[in-house]
Structure 1
Amino acid sequence: MLPWSSPLVGRIEHETVHSALLRDNPLGDPHERPIYVYLPPGYDDSDRRYPVVYVIQGYTGNVAMWFNRTPFRRPFPELADDVFADGSTPPAIVVYVDAWTAYGGSQFLDSPATGRYHSYLCDEVVPWVDARYRTLAEPAHRAISGKSSGGYGAMVTPMLRPDLFGALATHAGDALFDVCYPDGFPKVARTLRDEYDGDYANFLADRGKRIHGTRDSDLELIEIYGYAAAYSGNEDGSVSLPFDDTGALVPDVWARWLAWDPVRMAGEPRYAEALRGMTAIWIDAGRSDEYYLDLGATAFHRAVVAAGVPDDRVYFELFDGRHGAIEYRYPLALAWLCERIAA
């Protein structure tokens, strides 16, 4: 395995989206966002139009991280290029979207505590791509894919906007909130008590004065806060936590989180209708996922089936693996999606 990048058969354009919706967002995050657009081999040699797969990232991800190279493994943009290299998979445009925030992520939702990241994706990024590239600009030819929090976004975005997205792939996406989140609440409550006098404001103030990660508890604290900012952010920009100082659930706030659970959403008539209209749904997760997202994947698959999505439109698999180092799964889903959203 070469430790450096290999030439692509297609090519990637590095561009910038100037977002009106993210301007003056509550966290002061940039409203100019990088976007990477992969054009498949042959794009420049014809006037053909292409389906599009939007790729979104997990928590703490930013778009430049797609090119991070770890020992003995290749980054996804190279693996994605391989999908189209020999012509056996219908070609597609692949768009890598950035939705990072100062809290580490947006869950690809609109929130008064972080910004309008769902609307940014749907109402700015998609039209931006369609205006600049030769796309097949219909839901049946437009898919979204992601892992972890990106997998969450890939599940909920098409349910919220079936007029835009007609296919999805979710890899270990956040789902079945009753199972995947509450285990972490007591630990965070204890850490806040012991290190920050029980107050998230003290943590945020301390974190702002030093390099993130210089305390062992940084990631677990900011992760839960980032989720809360997405699921239970308030109109004044404040964030309500779904647990109290003992780690016990706060019922009214927890109910706000549950309303965003893809499993529960799939059981609602309007979202079930959106799922039934989809061309393709890929769901997978590692059997040993540390966050029990294999169980979430199973529950979401059952909810999709219960919603009435035909079996031939759904792929479901639990594979041997954990939460990390599963990038080799992404090109499998990419090829499967492209076969179904091609013209």
Structure 2
Amino acid sequence: MHSELLRGNPLGDPHERPIHVYLPPGYNSDTGRRYPVVYTIQGYTGHVGMWFNRMPFRRPFPELADELFATTATPPAIVVYVDAWTAFGGSQFLDSPGTGRYHSYLCEEVVPWVDARYRTLADRDHRAVAGKSSGGYGAMVTPMLRPDLFGALATHAGDALFEVCYQADFRDVARTLRDEYAGSYEAFLADWRGRLHGTKDSDLDLIETYGYAAAYSANPDGSVSLPFDELGAPVPEVWSRWLAWDPVRMAAEPRYAEALRSQRAIWIDAGTRDEYHLDFGAEAFRRAVSAAGVPDTTVHFELFPAKHGGIEYRYPLSLAWLCERMA
């Protein structure tokens, strides 16, 4: 699809984006039927083509979703796999002068594009967003920002409780910058752009932290402010900008609490051995959702024995639950 909102974005990333639309069994034969839609978004460094990657002894999510609709009584739905890749590896599905208008792209372009081309139930009560990790983050914040568009969500190990999931990394990133790049992110970026990603062990940690900063604390001119100093200590005025995007804190604000109360279904889960401690983030978001006044009957919360990766088997569980709630 062509995105006018991504045309001319700050990183020079493509404004033509791949999009995969899964149509459930019976779509072509029952031409009068309309369907709910689940928008599926990816974690950091995720590209839409990676949904079809096959790991040993495991099946990719599109196959698991197909099996769900083909062999169970789950109400059918359209599943849309959305691309929000950037040159930094992700966008957090936010509008940012450092990366581009990825929140608006999802809400104002992808959703209408799908509704115009497929037989959707084109209202917020039949539209959900789901994802894992940074995709789980997007699944939490997007319905809070646009409750008029999305009435259900599923977050798997989504980024939340920022002081737990992010802040501990600042000291390690600051040390790596000091030891390998004389404390300069500009030196890292110049080096990184001139070679294959991953040829240095520190590449992922450095670009991921910078990508988050580009989403949470970019400045109007497109420059990026880091949330920590050369000693790894938080810079209060920048760190506060990150915290303002923490789903746990957002849920406490009246306008976002009202948006959460309007949701028909909220699925929250994470692995108990998550390396980024996003099980704590999941629990904190569950508590924030409850404090916002969302009834317990609207929420599914679960911690399960797993790490951060290899949890694709959880996706059809939340997909089925969302479809049942939207049917």
State the TM-score, normalizing by the size of structure 2.
Answer: 0.99
**How many residue pairs get matched?**
326
**CA offsets, 1:265-318, max 9 Å, x none?**
000000000000000000000011110100000000000011111111100000
What do you get for the CA RMSD once the two structures are aligned?
Answer: 0.5
User: Which residue identity lines up with residue 169 of structure 1 in the other structure?
Assistant: A
**Structure 2 counterpart SS, 1:328:** helix
CA–CA distance in structure 1, aligned partners of residues 66 and 265 of structure 2: 21
Aligned counterpart for 1:176 among listed residues 145, 157, 161: 161
CA–CA distance in structure 1, aligned partners of residues 77 and 194 of structure 2: 44
* TM-aligned CA deviation for residue 178 of structure 1: 1.0
Structure 1 unaligned residues grouped into runs of 5+: 1-16
**Residue in structure 2 matched with residue 4 of structure 1 by the alignment:** none
**Residue in structure 1 matched with residue 313 of structure 2 by the alignment:** 328
**Residue in structure 2 matched with residue 6 of structure 1 by the alignment:** none
Describe how 1:158-237 pairs up with structure 2 within 5 A. 158-237=143-222
Describe how 1:54-133 pairs up with structure 2 within 5 A. 54-133=39-118
User: Which residue identity lines up with residue 121 of structure 1 in the other structure?
Assistant: L
CA–CA distance in structure 2, aligned partners of residues 311 and 182 of structure 1: 30
**CA offsets, 1:159-179, max 9 Å, x none?**
000000000000000000011
**Structure 1 counterpart SS, 2:63:** helix
Q: Which runs of 4+ in 1 moved over 6 A?
A: none
Aligned counterpart for 1:267 among listed residues 252, 255, 259: 252
CA–CA distance in structure 1, aligned partners of residues 246 and 71 of structure 2: 39
CA–CA distance in structure 2, aligned partners of residues 298 and 86 of structure 1: 32
CA–CA distance in structure 1, aligned partners of residues 63 and 72 of structure 2: 15
Structure 2 unaligned residues grouped into runs of 5+: none
State the TM-score, normalizing by the size of structure 1.
Answer: 0.95
**Residue in structure 1 matched with residue 23 of structure 2 by the alignment:** 39
**Structure 2 counterpart SS, 1:105:** coil
Asked if 1:150 corresponds to 2:118, the answer is no
* TM-aligned CA deviation for residue 227 of structure 1: 0.2
CA–CA distance in structure 1, aligned partners of residues 22 and 280 of structure 2: 33
Mean Cα deviation higher: 86-95 or 294-303: 86-95
Aligned counterpart for 1:246 among listed residues 202, 214, 231: 231
User: Which residue identity lines up with residue 267 of structure 1 in the other structure?
Assistant: A
- % same residue: 79
**Structure 2 counterpart SS, 1:60:** coil
**Structure 2 counterpart SS, 1:317:** strand
**Residue in structure 2 matched with residue 283 of structure 1 by the alignment:** 268
